[in-house]
Amino acid sequence: MLRVRWLGRLDYEEAWDLQRAFWEGRVEGRTSDDYLLLVEHPPTYTVGRNGDGSNILTENPPGSVHFVDRGGDVTYHGPGQLVGYPIVDMQGSRDYVGFVRRLEDVIVGTLDDIGIRARSEEGFTGVWTDAGKAAAIGISVRKGVTMHGFAINVATDLAAFSHIRPCGVDRPVTRIADLVETPVSIEGVIEKLIPRFVKTMGYAEPEIQLGAFTRG
């Protein structure tokens, strides 16, 4: 079963601890369920395995900095951005690239449901529009179970990206708020994303809890 949790605004360290706890439960066989944790972070920069911090362009970026074990280089998380952490048992499959491609498909479909034309691009992980990158993706897989995930810019302050070279690539970033006429909330994006995730990943009816914590 897939269990979906919208946790609201959560410090990065707390979300990381939750990921590890659910990952351990899956790896150790204490649960047979997969999870999709959905959160919004305060200003945070994370550097993945492919980065060494050199793509952080300013000495004191406006947010905490964490070096983490996902793929990719540096990215930004902050208010107005929907972050998803799938804790998924790969069932023995080593097609990790295929899993990332499916995450891209989920987000492309979600944006299409909102009225935004988006795409994946060969050689550039993430989801792109004509205006720039709308979503970043970076996962890790240990003992056959995924961690980390994706970040969709809903109404993110794009100025925060000026302190980094996102994912080590000199290409613009964009957000949903600049691509639609009618504002869309994070909760509105979640309503579109969950059924896309369920269908693309091949789950039956999920168990969903929204509003477990309030944003503040």
Which active-site residues does the annotation give?
167
d(CA 186, CA 80): 7
Asked if 110 and 134 touch (Cβ cutoff 8 Å), the reply is: no
Residues 6+ apart with CB under 8 A from 32: 1
DSSP state string for 50-103: T--STTB-SSS-SSEEEE-SSSSSEEEE-TTEEEEEEE-B-TT---HHHHHHHH
Q: Which residue is listed with tokens 């792109």? A: 128
Would you tell me how many other CB atoms lie within 10 Å of the CB of residue 140?
A: 18
The three-state secondary structure class of 166 is helix
Exposure b/e, 91-130, CB count within 10 A at least 16 = b: eeeeeeeebbeebbbbbbbbbeebebebebeeeebbbbbe
